Amino acid sequence: SQKIEQNSEALNIQEGKTATLTCNYTNYSPAYLQWYRQDPGRGPVFLLLIRENEKEKRKERLKVTFDTTLKQSLFHITASQPADSATYLCALLNAGNMLTFGGGTRLMVKP
């Protein structure tokens, strides 16, 4: 069966460090992968989309990598700030062409 796995345990890091979140998937051959941010009580907010032929994509302090051989995406936030604290979701198109989300990883950035 198709699975998207994100670390369900919260990631705690110190302000100014780089946060790295992992998204692993099985039984998908996605054309692209997306990352979202979700704050408590709010809807997810789209951050980045990376296509299968792209190895890396950057947007300001965010960097996403996509390794279709390892079936893994890494999401990096450099120079992290307390305002970056949120839950981060990865999402893939499944075989039915529907976007399927991982369970998300909660990031806590401490001052």
Partner 1 sequence: NAGVTQTPKFQVLKTGQSMTLQCAQDMNHNSMYWYRQDPGMGLRLIYYSASEGTTDKGEVPNGYNVSRLNKREFSLRLESAAPSQTSVYFCASSEVGRGYTFGSGTRLTVV
Choices 11-19, 26-34, 61-69, 78-86 (CB under 8 A): range interacting with partner 1: 26-34
> From the list 7, 24, 28, 32, which residue makes contact with partner 1 (rule: CB under 8 A)?
32
User: Applying CB under 8 A, does 15 fall inside the site for partner 1?
Assistant: no
User: Applying CB under 8 A, does 104 fall inside the site for partner 1?
Assistant: yes
How many chain residues are in contact with partner 1, going by CB under 8 A?
20
| Residue whose tokens read 């792209």 | 54
70-95 core/surface letters (b: 16 or more CB in 10 A; e: else):
ebbbbbbbeebeeebbbbbbbbbbbe
CB of 94 to partner 1, least distance (A): 9
**Euclidean distance between CA atoms 91 and 35, whole angstroms:** 6
User: Applying CB under 8 A, does 103 fall inside the site for partner 1?
Assistant: yes
